[in-house]
A and B are shown apart, each in its own frame.
Chain A
Amino acid sequence: MKFTWFNLMPWPYLPDDFRETNRSVWVDIDQKLFDPARSHEVYNTYMDLLEYADTLGFDGVGVNEHHQNGYGIMPSPNIIAAGLARRTKDAAVVVLGNSIALYNPPVRVAEEFAMLDCISGGRLVAGFPVGTSMDTNYCYGQIPSLTREKYQEAHDLIIKAWTTREPFAFNGRYNKLRHVNIWPRPIQQPHPPVHIPGGGSVETYDFCIDNTYSYSYLSFSGYLRAQALMNGYWKRVEERGVDKSPYRAGFAQTILVADTDEEAERLYSEHVSYFYNRCLHVYPGFADAPGYRTIKTIQTGALSQYAPPTGGYTQLTWKELTEQGHIIAGSPETVRQRMEDLIKGLNVGNIFCLMHVGNMPADKCMYSTKLFAEKVMPKLRNMFPDWDHDNRFWTQPLKDRVTSGALPKQAPTREELMKTYAVEA
């Protein structure tokens, strides 16, 4: 199993009446709600939490990309990842990911990911999302019905840039580059493992299968509602005649651990409510630009997860949120059981643990994270013994890696330096 500690980086100061006074947390969110001075502490606390997860033995620390978004103040995940590459030791740096259709030219992603892989010593997991319609179309102006074509071309260019050892010309529809020759290139060969966040489109299933990429379903509605979608994926895997390694798939799940089930509710319910009611308050007009989803996908009934359930999340109590699996919360034993159901039910080897929720303060987050790492994670380690040696979907770091801050505290004296570089007579 691979557990990645994930932080969406929500803005924790949305007002109580946010829903009533704002139409959307995304795209046209009120500028005035962001306070740059306060963000200094928010960013640094969030990065500290990611670093803390590394010390507890999580397999990865995860970041993602959103734009003009009150629940994700990370328009550039690579900036956070660069910090993590320096300040973490063993965890994979999971960037899930860069919306590659948005980078001009996309070789920028090939370069930045290569830098992250080099700085981290080969610990990068490279995510290539198409990006939500809010980010890609409404914020970044990509034409909805051409977004996938542009994404596909960006992907082909990046992989070719990573794997070609001499300069080449790339004559694409969206990218015309006479001299592609990235410098630096990644440590991991032939390239870092690729994870593709998807939302139920058949085309994406095939794309992952064809390229041996891991398919990640990043949902906020939990594992019970994900069953149908993941069944569709595994059915496709079977049809295509490839193995059903659980590492072909990943799933994001909100997880909150306390001493008892009651304590979990008492400690965390306000933060869960903050997330579902304020952070997911997206204007439906921004949820799904016409043409963004393919006809085939619409016909399979996969609608935007940003369309809230009937009645909205406001109507859902803590009990309903836990029972319906939107969140997995409770004592270590409750969480272990639920996680086992999730892992077996969806057959997923990569879990993106959403352990910071809404406006959760750092102390509660550390408490929950530590309980999960010490009392839950060890018991879930051996879920797929048959696939222990499947290295195709995870990092292959260098064995000997340097750590940041390894320089001596003081500059050498002249005498010391002369000794070190003494010229032999």
Chain B
Amino acid sequence: MELRTVQTTYAPVRYLVGGAGPDLVFLHGAGGVTADDPLLAELAKSHRVYAPLIPGYGDSEEAPEIRDMLDFTLHSWDVVQALGLKDPILVGHSMGGMIAAEMAAVQPNDVSRLCLIAPAGLWDDEHPIADLFATLPYEMPALLFHDAEAGAAMLTAGRNVTDPNFLQTYLVTNARQLGMAGRILFPIPERGLAGRMHRIRARTVIVWGDGDKLIPPVYAHGFKKGILGAELVSIPEAGHMVTMEHPRAVAEAIGRLG
């Protein structure tokens, strides 16, 4: 995957691009996405994949004017337009799934194929979602992965934790990325999608790791119920980071969209 920049109203947007085939836009979760992401690699085998970074993620410029759900949604449409894409396959993971669902609800005629991977956006008092913003780094792997040990290795890959500047770099990255994510996820990752979801017309596949401890799989049913004709693919032995744990299975599920 290659990192490029496209200009939008709010800020220059960094995006990863690669592969050949039908256009596919991937919206990342609160943890961001990198060029070596295994799901992007898998998807790029049969798609032209575009993975834009939300402003503030990675090395991208911040966009303080993007404050609420509508701003995130319209900005993401601006990115699609700036990339010159028309009706791409729209895929979103976690926070990205929340944004993708909102995009499809706001402009239902512009999305015909939608894949939501463990999306945020709904809330059920009976099944409260863990507070990601009060979770310490060492607690993350167990929360996010089916196999916590392997997950920890994936999370720290490429990071030099012995670097004395590590903590400051880590804090700055967190402030930029999770600070931005917090605008639609804090303190409860719900911004009214339940009332808009019925507008989605796209053929929709919902993918969930059956061991997801961050957003429990029970939420899949809320999405399935709310989106007409949505199909649910449950992936065994997978946590919230099913995209990293089982990229091929996720890519196959997306393949059902044709």
Using CB atoms and an 8 Å cutoff, list the residues of chain B in contact with chain A. 67, 131, 133-136, 139, 168, 171-172, 174-180, 182-183, 186-188
Contact = CB atoms under 8 A, between A and B. Distances in A.
A-B CB proximity, top 4 nearest: A291-B179, A290-B178, A145-B179, A285-B134
22 contacts: A137-B133, A138-B187, A141-B186, A143-B187, A283-B134, A284-B136, A285-B134, A285-B135, A285-B136, A290-B174, A290-B175, A291-B179, A291-B180, A291-B182, A291-B186, A294-B175, A295-B172, A295-B175, A298-B168, A298-B172, A299-B168, A301-B168
B179 A144 contact: yes
Interface in A93-147: 137-138, 141, 143-146
A271 B204 CA distance: 61
Contact of B182 (A289, A293, A295, A303): A289
B180 A145 contact: yes
Interface of A: 27, 137-138, 141, 143-146, 283-286, 289-295, 298-299, 301, 303
A138 B178 contact: no
Nearest to A284: B136
A141 B133 CA distance: 12
A143 B176 contact: no
Contacts of A301: 168
A413 B84 CA distance: 90
Given A290-B179, A298-B168, 18 more contacts: A138-B134, A138-B187, A143-B183, A145-B175, A145-B179, A284-B136, A285-B134, A290-B174, A290-B175, A291-B175, A291-B182, A292-B179, A295-B172, A295-B175, A295-B176, A298-B175, A299-B168, A301-B168
B186 A144 contact: yes
A293 B174 CA distance: 11
A143 B182 contact: yes
Nearest to A144: B182
Given A283-B134, A285-B135, A293-B175, A143 B168 contact: no
Contacts of A284: 136
Nearest to B133: A289
A145 B180 CA distance: 7
A381 B168 CA distance: 42
A325 to B, nearest CB: 25
B132 to A, nearest CB: 9
Contacts of A283: 134
Contacts of B174: 290
Given A295-B176, A298-B171, A299-B172, A290 B136 contact: no
Contacts of B187: 137-138, 141, 143
Contacts of B133: 137, 144, 289-290
Contacts of B67: 146
Contacts of A303: 171
